[in-house]
Every structure is written in C-alpha cells, then in structure tokens.
Structure 1
C-alpha cells in the first residue's frame, strides 16, 4: 500500500494541468510511495495526451468515463474506488501543490494519527480561499472549537478507510455543493481532524472561464444538498447538544457566505418564490430549538424561510441593508425589532460593531483631516450620532472631535491642532476611535485597520509650536492591529530641520531624520532689520520651499530670526 492517492478529476484542462503534474513530479517524497489517479470526464481537448506524457515520471492510473457526467463528483468517486493509498488527497486539475506537501503531511499524520488533515491554502491570481482556520497548526480540532466548518471543499487529505468504511462518496446525482456534503460526512465520522498551517501547501488558482465544479444549478438542487447536510448532522453519533451547536454553526456559515446571503435583494422577483420554496424545504429540516443558537440576526430569516414567506423574508433583508425598521427599540444594548405591521417582535438581536473604513487622512502643522465611512451597521442614518475620540494610551485623558461634514455616510472630522495642542503633551500616544451613539448606547471602534492607501511615507510628521517649545506629531499604524495612532514628543528644532538658501530667493527646509509636512500658503521670513514675504510649498516628502518676494543676501540669510506661516511661528533659536 502506498501512502497517498492523489485524485485529480479532469475536464478540458489542457491549459492548466501541466502545472499540477509538474508540482506532483517535483514532490520531495518517494515516487513509489504515492499514486496519481486521473479520471477524465470526456475532455474534448488534449488533456489526456498531456497526462500520458507523465506516465514515466509518476506512478499513474489514468481512465476516462464513457459519457460526460457533468460534474467532478463521479470522476472523484471512480478514482476513490481505485485508490490504494492509505490516504487520499483531492486536487482540482487547475490547481497545484507545494513540493513539500506530501512529505510534511506524511510526517504530521504519522505523528498525530489524523483521519482528516486540512492543509493551508493560498489563492493565486486573485482566487479567494478560506483563511480563518489556518492561523496555526493544530494536531486536533473539532467542529465546535475551530473554524473548519467554514471550509467544506474536498481539497484536503482523508484517511481512505474512513471514507470507504463509512460509505462516504460524492453524491453523483447532485451537481453543486456535493463536496460540502462529502466533507461534512468526513468531519462527522473522523476520530481526529488536524490542521497543518506551517506554509502554503495547496495553491488554488483563478483561471479564465469556469472551474469544473462551478456550473450553475437550480435552487432546488442546491438546497437539497443543504437539507442532506442538516440530516447528516442530526443523525450523527454525537451528543444532542453538540449536534445542535454544529448545526447552528453550519447555518451561520450558510446564511453569511453562501448564495443565500441577500438572495431576495439579488434574484429577480419572478424567481423568488422558487428560491423561498427550496430554501424553506431546507430550513424545515432544522429543529426550531436550534434557532436560539444561531447568530441572533439570522433568527428572523429562519422564521420566515421556514414559513416560506418571501415578502417578509425580503423585508428583513432590506431592513438590515438600510438599517431602517417598521419598529425597533434597544434594551440592554440589544435590538427588539418588528419588521412589518402585525408581525412578531424578534427580541435580543445583537448589534454588531460597525465596520469603519478610513477613506482619507491628511495632516500638516495646522490640522488633521480624516474621512470615515460606516459599513455593515444595523442601524440606519438618522438614528445615531458620531464623533471622533482621541484617547491617551494610558487611558487617563480623552479628547472629542465633533463631526464636521456628513456627505452620504462619508463622515469628515477636522482636528484643529490649535484647539487640542495644549492637551497633547499630557501623553505621548493617542489612539483614534469613532464613537457611534444610539440613545444611551455607545459603540466604540478603532480607526485605520480598514483604509484606502495612506498618502505619506512612514514616520512623516508635523511640527507644532507650543508655549515656546516645539513638538513632533507623528501619525503611525500600530503593530498588532494596524490601527492609526498619534505620537507626540518634544524636539529641538535645530536637530529636526535644516535650512539652506537656494539661489537668491528660495529657502529650503529639509527634515533631518524624517519628512515633515507644512501647511502651504503665505509665509514671512523675519530678519533682524527686515521682513520678507514669501510663498511656502511642499516640494517633496521631506522638503519645503519658501519662494521669497525679493532676493536675500547670504549674510542676511544667516541672520534670520524666525519664519512665520499662517498658523505657526518657527523661532530659529529653538
């Protein structure tokens, strides 16, 4: 018996399969200890001819179905029945694997006796792949203490006996999401599930055209698979409470990430009765006791799906999107919502913190301007107020900045340094928050993690003049969570800015250890016996130019006392 059977279903894969076969031929693992089983679904291109070229490089089994099956399920089943490996790995023909995948997987499986091994995936060419379950390597995980329920694709390593002894095969009559049913059965029957995340082991590639498993299917077929998964969970040999919790997590996944999410806002009105009937058949298989375990915002959707009530189901999704409700109130930080007249109240719905995106951030020695958008918030405009909060890192001091402009949920805050500079020296580090207030309830969100491209190089700063002293204000992004904070510290001007005369009428100010930004505009240069007007402009990330209205002699340049800008005076003896 070989260690691995690598199963590859193919259909018109001539453009991509060479990359996969090369990755298998280059494995740092004995070629005699794994087999590659290719089952072709009646390709009409050169796929099989390309595969044949690798017979001398790999231990291969190659076959072709007599008629096209219309999906990857049957080719995978044919290959699985032929598999002689202790473990099987399913790989799509347009993907490929790391050269160390089989070697590392074999060592890990032998050490931990895994029945199912999830190997870390990486998307290529913009392909999205599951990530949350691959944050760390784990010898043993469950459906309840990990995020593995959020990856139900078959591209994992399975103990062959687990599959065959429990009659776990792909349902060939179903052409969509059949892999989710297969993987869930494997999860439920496995004695040990493991995660290997030391490196990217499986490369999922986005190609032009359709993947073999991405063809459209009807809602009836799709929701039938979801119903069958529900029954598998309910019939599993587990404690009843565990089964209910697993089913609740599966429903959380389904309503958050599948085609069900927002379907009543996307599907044509004339097609929605078909969708709600199929969805309702699925949800009617879910015991009502499980509703109490799902995400609270999903309970109204379950209620109306079970009743096959498309009108109220659509109202719920539209209300969530707009943040507007027929009637709502907030009790102990949770929503009580009635979606339509005469409909029940749904109580205790959690208000998730809104997601804040920083769409703009600009600053100079006069002000900081930031623009923020509020996304995925369950409460619509008109029901809440926003303000910016600057909170000292030692949590002893707080400053609030009122909203300056609200332009269609684009909130602009102008932080005038003149207004707050007296408070800044109280603490070196100030963290930036957006506060959202609904009545007496306040939600606080850190700012900066989600943002458009930052406009400045790292460490770019502004100079602030306060009580005859100079300070440096440096916005930066925190190491752990990538949020924006402000660093404030005293400096000596001569150690921070150099000044030189360029030609006869230009003064150049250059940051010595970092770039500094200045407010552009009118400036004046004060000499011992004269004052010359000029125009200040930022010419690069760390250089400012003052174009003077008249020439200045070198001996007078050495006698400059101070430079005045619109809001800051730079005394050069500081």
Structure 2
C-alpha cells in the first residue's frame, strides 16, 4: 500500500486555542485525509494543547501525536517529526497558523508537474501580522534563489520533497534560539533541482496571536541575533562563490538579520556590553563586505554598516531610534513603533537624491554621501490611460512620475527598443496636467506628470519593439516599461492591423507583467490566423451567386484590400471586396459564378505587393447549382478531391445531357 503524499509536521507549545484551527485546516484538505499524514509534537504544553491534540487525533487515523518535555524551541519537535515522516513531501505548519483548503493539493500538483524540490504557497497575514509578498506576485513553475525573490522568505512553512531532506540529512539547528529554520530552508533552496511558487491561491494564513506569543514577536538578545547573522553569512559564503550571486543572498541577511541584531543592541542595558558587541559586529560586517554587496543595499543599510564599521555607537543608536520614531518594522510580526512608517525627506542635487538620515553632511563625521544616496531606490509610478493603434501611429496617454520627486523640470521621453538588438528610438512626449494622482500629492507635487505620445509606425523595421518611459524630473531619470499599470479601459487583448504600406503591426501585452510591445512585420503575431472562412452556400435570391461567410479579426486594413478571389486558368481572376458587418469582423461576400471555367476560391488580403490568403475550404454539402442564361442551361459544381473549394462553371451541353439521362434509364 503506497504511503501518504504529504507529511504535515506541527510543533506545538501552549498554542490554545489556535491549535484547533491549525489541525482542522490540515484534516479538511481537498487533497484527501487518506493522502496526508499529520504528526503533531506537543513540546511540553501546560495550557491544554496536549489534551486538544489527543482529542483531535481520535477522529483522524493518520494523525499521530507525540508528547515530550519542553525543549525550548521548535527545532527539536520538528526534527522528531522528520524522523517519523513517511510522506513523499513534508510540510511544516506552526500551531497558531492554518492553511487554505486547497493548499496541499495545489502545492503537490506544482511539485509533481515541475519536478520541484521546494514549493512556496502564498502567505497572507491575519490580525495585523505582516507577511512576505514580493515573491508572490505571480506563479513561478520553476525558479531558483537567484532569479526570483524566494530567498527573502526563509520560514519553513513550505512543501519540501522528502527525498531532498533525506539526501542532504537536513535537520533544524537546535543550537540557534532564533532563526533555527533559516539554515534548513536556505540549504534546501540552494540544493533544489527547482523551486515552485503558487501565488494564485492563499495557501498559508499567518495569524497574529492576541497574547503576542508568536515566536517572531518575542525579543531575543543581541548575541542570539548575531549568532543567526553569522551562521547565515557563513552558510552563504561556503556554498556560493564570491560574486553577484553571493551578494544577492547576502543582501537579505545584511538588510534583515543585521538590522535586527542592531535593534537588540540598542536595548542592551550596559554600555560596555554594547561596545563589545558592536566591535564583534564590525568584524563580521568587514568579513563579508564587498562593493557589489554595497551597490545592492539600500542607503539606510549602507549607513548602518558604515556606523558599525567605524564603531560609532552613539551615532548608531541615534539612527536606530530615528527609525523607530518613524515606524520602522522588523521582518515578521514585530512592529517597532505604533505609528505609520514615515519616509525621510529628500534633497535633490546634481541629478541624485539623498535621504536626510541623521548626520547627513555632518562636518565632524564626514560620512560619505553614498550612505545617503537613494536614487536607485526611487520607483516610477505610471499608468496608461489610453492606447490607440491606427494605420499610421500608436497614440498613448497617461501619467508617470518618480515617487517622492516633484515634477519640476520634467524631461520625460518615450523609449522604443528593438528586442535582441541595440536599436533604440527616443521620442518626445507632450507633458500634460495630472492633478491628484497620488495619495502623497499633498507632500510632493506631481501635477505635471501627465503625458501624450505618438509613435509613427512607418520608420519601425520588422521586429519586437518594447515601449518604455524615461521619466525625468529635477535631473533624475528613471526608466520603466509601460503597460503593467493601466486604466480599465485599456484592453490587454492584442490589437493587429495592416498599414497602407502593407506592414502588419500588432500591439500586445507581454506575460506575466502586461507590458506593452509593438510587433512589426509578424515576428510573433501572424495575419493569416485572423482570416477565416466559415462556410459557403448558393444564394437563394440571386442565380449563379455563391455566398461566402467568414471572419476577419484584424483591427484595420486598407479599404478594398480584403477580397474573396476566384482564380481561373492562365491567371484570370475575379475579386469581390469584403467589408465586415459586425464589430467581431464577420462578413458575407456575394461571389458571382457565371463565367465558364474552373475557379479556385480564396480569401485574400493584398496591400502594396504583399499578400495574405487562406483557402475557402471544400464544402462537402455544397450541391451543384443550375440556372438559365439567355434561355440556355448553365451549371456550377464543386470539384471533388480538392482541399480548396474549386468550382467548374459552364453551359450544359444538351446532347451530352440527353445521353446521360438515357444511360441512367
């Protein structure tokens, strides 16, 4: 008998009443109770958690409860659960959280389909608990730590392939009092054949406990935070060669674990202890500091590291309290101040933006301006309000501005880049008013952020042209691809047309971000699939007339260029213009068939020597037609065995017809 698909491990300590919802969310999974093994380890609870787990296990044959004395943290109970796990996959769940009804089914499907060793399911916070979001912007069937944001969530509430855990002999570090999950998860990430992200479903609900006893909410001493920072920095340095990849992972630990260590340092009651620990931190920072890492870090982290490196304790403490006063928050649940986050004021100078953190250009400290330069951190906010493609140009309107930089001395340009080449075209835009476009507009003047732009199609050579804005204000220029932000009226459906010069042009949105791109010359979007004949039958009103029905889903073409063509011998042609009669491009063409000969029928679009055509398909149910002309009988009949509808038209030879009737008798 095959074993379970998933073993869910819950380490529980004094988790009432939350543990009931946690366990129930596992037992009620759509994956099916027979495919789930649940191991709950009671870590010496004294609040009724142990009894509640035993009660819940009575109705769940595949739920196993293990009781042990308190171990002081979740690492030991999780390891014990791993020792007993029988599932193909393992999922860790905290006793105060719960999972969505389809979570395990979706994550197992993602792992099986993509051969993934780790699967992240989207996390949402409840009761004010902050959850990581940056890695859940879209589904990612196969990714890794270097091409995605998954490394920024190192909690263990993920699906792990047990074969990977067993092969690596992974266990949680019982020597760490905080962050014991990080080495486990980071190692699994780095050794995984693939990582999947399920972002279109709420898989895990992070619940904020009313008693504040979530483990991430509890204070831990500076030494514990420093141990975690040291452990993770050593792990990354040991497994990832020096260079951009290592810097990318170190970024997380310098921005989060080092920050939390400094926060705890500020709470140490003794000055001598603070000074001793600060010097240890300085040695750690120096050990892993590189120019590449510095370039990735936000300005406030560079400033923090500069103060640590120079052992400027008072200045470092001032920075910590400055951040706390403005509502800085640590990773997870811990909120460091009750007020909302207040961003620093900015000074723009020489095309750079400097945050006015403490000690900016203090002549006694001479801290480098680079520790305050947040130009790279500024984001562009933008929206496309209209995108209209016609036979000659693409017209765009909308707004764009650099967040926190007033729209003075605006120099925004529209940028076209031909994909796969160095070809670039820059076009001026017309600046227009855009009042009240941002909730921060009372702090920063964005009233000149509107734009109007026109892209002439004729100069564009064949290829894919990506559309961006180089948004400029006060000498600062930031570039952003257009389209991901758009008004509801701006459709994501592909618009395609053929110009008067015979060039096929399509405006479409890329996946998954929805950015705008022009396809010139059918690089990716073809004309012929938009030409279709749906049927043909003889007219009931007009003799010798074939009624051809079809659809053209192009959004535009030159007048008279679309025809139903009847091609005869020696290049003789008859063409009937087609004009759709509905917004969906449906048409009906009346094709006269009164001229003797064999005629092959196609739907054709011809412009300036360029031609696209699709055949009128053979119509098995189409019978021969007969009519009289000047008193003489004529006929038109489809020829058998042809893929293209071909009609033979001619006058009935009376003698031959009479002989045929006699033979039939």
TM category (shorter chain) comes to: 0.5 to 0.7
In the alignment, which residue of structure 1 is the partner of 2:397? none
In the alignment, which residue of structure 1 is the partner of 2:224? 221
**Shift in CA distance, 398/137, structure 1 to aligned 2, threshold 3 Å:** closer
Equivalent position SS for 1:70: coil
How big is the shift at 1:43? Answer: 0.7
**In 2, are the aligned partners of 1:121 and 1:129 still within 8 Å (CA)?**
yes
Deviations 1:466-517 (A, max 9, x none): xxxxxxxxxxxxxx99xxxxxxxxxxxxxxxxxxxxxxxxxxxxxxxxxxxx
Equivalent position SS for 1:121: strand
Deviations 1:43-70 (A, max 9, x none): 112212221223232402211222x222
In the alignment, which residue of structure 1 is the partner of 2:112? 110
Match of 1:351 among 356, 362, 375: 375
**Shift in CA distance, 391/279, structure 1 to aligned 2, threshold 3 Å:** same
Aligned positions of 1:238-277 closer than 5 A: 238=240, 240-241=241-242, 244-257=243-256, 260=259, 267=266, 273=274, 276-277=278-279
Match of 2:208 among 195, 200, 206: 206
Q: Distance in 1 between matches of 2:15 and 2:429?
A: 63
**Shift in CA distance, 347/93, structure 1 to aligned 2, threshold 3 Å:** closer
Q: Distance in 2 between matches of 1:96 and 1:376?
A: 38
Q: Does 1:232 align with 2:235?
A: yes
In the alignment, which residue of structure 2 is the partner of 1:398? 431
How big is the shift at 1:9? Answer: 0.6
**In 2, are the aligned partners of 1:436 and 1:444 still within 8 Å (CA)?**
no
**In 2, are the aligned partners of 1:291 and 1:302 still within 8 Å (CA)?**
no
**In 1, are the aligned partners of 2:120 and 2:159 still within 8 Å (CA)?**
yes
**Shift in CA distance, 386/115, structure 1 to aligned 2, threshold 3 Å:** same
Q: Distance in 1 between matches of 2:434 and 2:162?
A: 62
**In 2, are the aligned partners of 1:304 and 1:310 still within 8 Å (CA)?**
yes
Equivalent position SS for 2:205: strand
Q: Distance in 2 between matches of 1:265 and 1:45?
A: 30
Q: Distance in 2 between matches of 1:72 and 1:41?
A: 8
How big is the shift at 1:175? Answer: 1.6
Deviations 1:177-203 (A, max 9, x none): 222222112112222211122311222
**Shift in CA distance, 276/266, structure 1 to aligned 2, threshold 3 Å:** closer
In the alignment, which residue of structure 2 is the partner of 1:137? 139
Higher deviation after alignment, 281-290 or 36-45 = 281-290
Runs of at least 5 residues in structure 1 that lack an aligned partner in the other structure: 358-373, 378-383, 416-422, 425-432, 451-457, 459-479, 482-574
**Shift in CA distance, 333/6, structure 1 to aligned 2, threshold 3 Å:** same
RMSD over aligned Cα atoms: 5.0
How big is the shift at 1:155? Answer: 0.4
**Shift in CA distance, 155/133, structure 1 to aligned 2, threshold 3 Å:** same
How big is the shift at 1:351? Answer: 1.3
In the alignment, which residue of structure 1 is the partner of 2:60? 57
Q: Distance in 2 between matches of 1:131 and 1:341?
A: 41
**Shift in CA distance, 278/16, structure 1 to aligned 2, threshold 3 Å:** farther
Q: Does 1:179 align with 2:184?
A: no
**In 1, are the aligned partners of 2:225 and 2:261 still within 8 Å (CA)?**
no
How big is the shift at 1:95? Answer: 1.2
Equivalent position SS for 1:248: helix
How big is the shift at 1:256? Answer: 4.3
**In 2, are the aligned partners of 1:121 and 1:203 still within 8 Å (CA)?**
yes
**Shift in CA distance, 345/103, structure 1 to aligned 2, threshold 3 Å:** closer
**Shift in CA distance, 376/395, structure 1 to aligned 2, threshold 3 Å:** closer
Match of 1:193 among 189, 195, 199: 195
In the alignment, which residue of structure 2 is the partner of 1:490? none
Deviations 1:437-468 (A, max 9, x none): 3xx447899xxx99xxxxxxx9xxxxxxxxxx
Equivalent position SS for 2:15: coil
How big is the shift at 1:158? Answer: 0.9
**Shift in CA distance, 376/308, structure 1 to aligned 2, threshold 3 Å:** farther
Q: Does 1:295 align with 2:309?
A: no
Q: Does 1:34 align with 2:57?
A: no
Larger Rg: 2
In the alignment, which residue of structure 2 is the partner of 1:90? 92
**Shift in CA distance, 411/114, structure 1 to aligned 2, threshold 3 Å:** closer
How many residues align? The count is 414
How big is the shift at 1:217? Answer: 0.9
**In 2, are the aligned partners of 1:4 and 1:33 still within 8 Å (CA)?**
yes
How big is the shift at 1:345? Answer: 3.3
Deviations 1:241-278 (A, max 9, x none): 4xx43442344334545571795799359667366345
Q: Does 1:341 align with 2:372?
A: no
**In 2, are the aligned partners of 1:4 and 1:89 still within 8 Å (CA)?**
yes
**In 1, are the aligned partners of 2:15 and 2:49 still within 8 Å (CA)?**
yes
**In 2, are the aligned partners of 1:265 and 1:314 still within 8 Å (CA)?**
no
Deviations 1:89-127 (A, max 9, x none): 000111111222222222222221111111122222332
**Shift in CA distance, 82/304, structure 1 to aligned 2, threshold 3 Å:** same
Match of 2:22 among 17, 20, 23: 20
**Shift in CA distance, 221/281, structure 1 to aligned 2, threshold 3 Å:** farther
Equivalent position SS for 2:51: helix
Equivalent position SS for 2:154: coil
Higher deviation after alignment, 13-22 or 83-92 = 13-22
**Shift in CA distance, 260/109, structure 1 to aligned 2, threshold 3 Å:** same
**In 2, are the aligned partners of 1:300 and 1:346 still within 8 Å (CA)?**
no
In the alignment, which residue of structure 2 is the partner of 1:524? none
**Shift in CA distance, 288/221, structure 1 to aligned 2, threshold 3 Å:** same
In the alignment, which residue of structure 1 is the partner of 2:148? 146
